[in-house]
């Protein structure tokens, strides 16, 4: 049974009739041009957007979930986060325990270890580099131990080292019998890390399947409007505009 599945999910005209399934151990990539509905879809799953249609987790409708139960099931790393106060890294990560109403030291330390931020846990978030901060935000979500982790463009504005570091963390989390849905602009990273891809255009799913099914030159050209070179046999795979 799918860890999470949506049935004809719609958010006014921004997401239209979207049905996907995510199983434990899988990493699903959402790709598509700006304004395709990637963030809106992720937001609808955590209750930030009202939606039509249905969302189930292992056969049970999310409508039956309390706010807290939903937050324990699904964790979101939004596209942009900022801390209003210069709080410490450890305190930020501990905030991730709010859905559980505790400050489970073990879960917090494990999340910091997974995200590789335990080395600077006492530093203030406003003193970190962009790459370090991105991993702190990720550690905050990991501390809540969500069954489904949603990450909205988690590697935007990061250098290649931190891009791989963040994607490795997400991939590792998926393999631990969780589910990960990640919105990405970098199609090479999507090909390299994701088991399944959903290509969105103007709120509609144009293609859904394995990277080799979705990342075809003709499909990408029709969606993005530019010629694209695809070589999925290389390691790492390459998907670049011509």
Contact set with other proteins (CB under 8 A): 43, 46-48, 66-72, 74-76, 78, 81-88, 90-96, 98-99, 101, 103, 108, 124, 126, 137, 140, 144
- What angle, 0 to 180 degrees and rounded to 10, lies between the N-to-C axes of helices 130-143 and 160-175? 10
Question: What is the smallest separation between the CB atom of 116 and other proteins, expressed in angstroms?
Answer: 18
Based on CB atoms, which residue is closest to other proteins, 59 or 101? 101
Question: What is the smallest separation between the CB atom of 242 and other proteins, expressed in angstroms?
Answer: 36
Based on CB atoms, which residue is closest to other proteins, 170 or 214? 170
Exposed e or buried b for every residue in 67-90, given b needs 16+ CB within 10 A?
Answer: eeebbbbbbbbbeeeebeeeebbb
Based on CB atoms, which residue is closest to other proteins, 133 or 196? 133
> Rounded to an integer, what distance in angstroms lies between the CA atom of residue 124 and that of residue 88?
4
Based on CB atoms, which residue is closest to other proteins, 108 or 214? 108
Based on CB atoms, which residue is closest to other proteins, 25 or 78? 78
Question: What is the smallest separation between the CB atom of 10 and other proteins, expressed in angstroms?
Answer: 20
Exposed e or buried b for every residue in 157-179, given b needs 16+ CB within 10 A?
Answer: ebeeebbbbbbebbbebbeeebb
> Rounded to an integer, what distance in angstroms lies between the CA atom of residue 12 and that of residue 19?
15
> Rounded to an integer, what distance in angstroms lies between the CA atom of residue 66 and that of residue 53?
18
């Amino acid at each position: 049974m799918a860890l999470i599945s949506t049935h004809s999910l719609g958010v006014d005209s921004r997401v239209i009739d979207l049905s996907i399934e995510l199983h434990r151990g899988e990493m699903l990539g959402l790709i598509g041009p700006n304004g395709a509905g990637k963030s809106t879809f992720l937001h609808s799953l955590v209750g930030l957007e009202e939606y039509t249609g249905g969302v189930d987790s292992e056969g049970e409708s999310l409508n039956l979930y309390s706010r807290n139960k939903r937050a324990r099931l699904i964790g979101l790393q939004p596209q942009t986060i900022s801390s209003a106060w210069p709080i410490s890294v450890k305190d930020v990560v501990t905030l991730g325990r709010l859905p559980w109403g505790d400050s489970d030291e073990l879960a917090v330390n494990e999340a910091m270890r997974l995200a590789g931020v335990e080395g600077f846990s006492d530093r203030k978030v406003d003193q970190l580099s962009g790459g370090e901060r991105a991993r702190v935000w990720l550690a905050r979500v990991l501390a809540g131990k969500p069954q489904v982790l949603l990450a909205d463009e988690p590697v935007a504005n990061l250098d290649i080292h931190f891009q791989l570091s963040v994607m490795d963390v997400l991939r590792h989390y998926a393999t631990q019998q969780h589910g990960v849905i990640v919105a990405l602009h970098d199609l090479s990273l999507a090909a390299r890390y994701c088991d399944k891809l959903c290509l969105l255009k103007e709120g509609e799913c144009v293609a859904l399947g394995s990277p080799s099914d979705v990342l075809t030159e003709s499909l990408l050209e029709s969606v993005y409007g530019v010629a694209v070179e695809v070589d999925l046999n290389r390691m790492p795979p390459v998907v670049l505009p011509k």
